[in-house]
Amino acid sequence: MTIIVPIHRRRDPVPEHQGAANSPAQVQTSLAGAVTLGMERGRFGGNVHLRGLNLLLLYESGCRARCTYCGLAKDRPEVSERARNHTFIRVKWPTYGTEDILARVKDDCGAMQRVCVAMVQDHRAFADSNAVMRRFRDETSMGISALITATVVRSREMVEEILEAGADMFTVAFDACTPELFDRTRGRGARGPHRWEHHWQVLRWGVEVFGRFKTGVHLVCGLGETERQMAEMIQRVHDCGAHTHLFAFFPEAGTVMQDVDPAPMGHYRRIQVARYLINHGVGRVEEMRFNDAGQIVEFGCDIAPLLADGEAFMTSGCAGHDGRNACNRPFGNERPSMRQRNHPMPLDAAARALAAVELREDLRT
Check: CB of residue 343 under 8 Å from CB of residue 325. no
d(CA 189, CA 226): 20
d(CA 84, CA 20): 9
pLDDT recorded at residue 87: 56
The backbone region for 112, taken as left when phi is positive above 0, alpha when psi lies in -120 to 50, beta otherwise, is beta
pLDDT recorded at residue 167: 98
Check: CB of residue 17 under 8 Å from CB of residue 80. no
* Residue 53: strand pairing partners: 115
d(CA 132, CA 56): 10
Instruction: Give exposure, 35-51, as e/b (b: 16+ Cβ within 10 Å).
Output: bbbbbbebebeeebebb
Burial class (CB in 10 A: 0-12, 13-18, 19+), 19: exposed
pLDDT recorded at residue 73: 87
Helices (H) and strands (E) in the chain, counts: 10, 10
User: Nearest to residue 158, comparing CAs of 188, 190, 202, 112?
Assistant: 202
Write the CA distances from 258 to 110, 217, 223, 262, integer angstroms.
38, 24, 12, 10
One pLDDT digit (tens) per residue for the chain, 365 residues = 333 333 333 444 455 555 567 999 999 998 889 999 999 888 787 778 899 999 999 999 899 999 999 988 887 765 444 444 455 666 678 999 999 999 999 887 667 899 999 999 999 999 999 999 999 999 999 999 999 999 999 999 999 999 999 999 999 999 999 999 999 999 999 999 999 999 999 999 999 999 999 999 999 999 999 999 999 999 999 999 999 999 999 998 889 999 999 999 999 999 999 999 999 999 999 999 999 999 999 999 999 999 999 999 999 999 998 898 999 988 776 666 778 899 999 999 999 999 999 999 999 97
pTM for this entry: 0.91
d(CA 101, CA 191): 35
pLDDT recorded at residue 4: 39
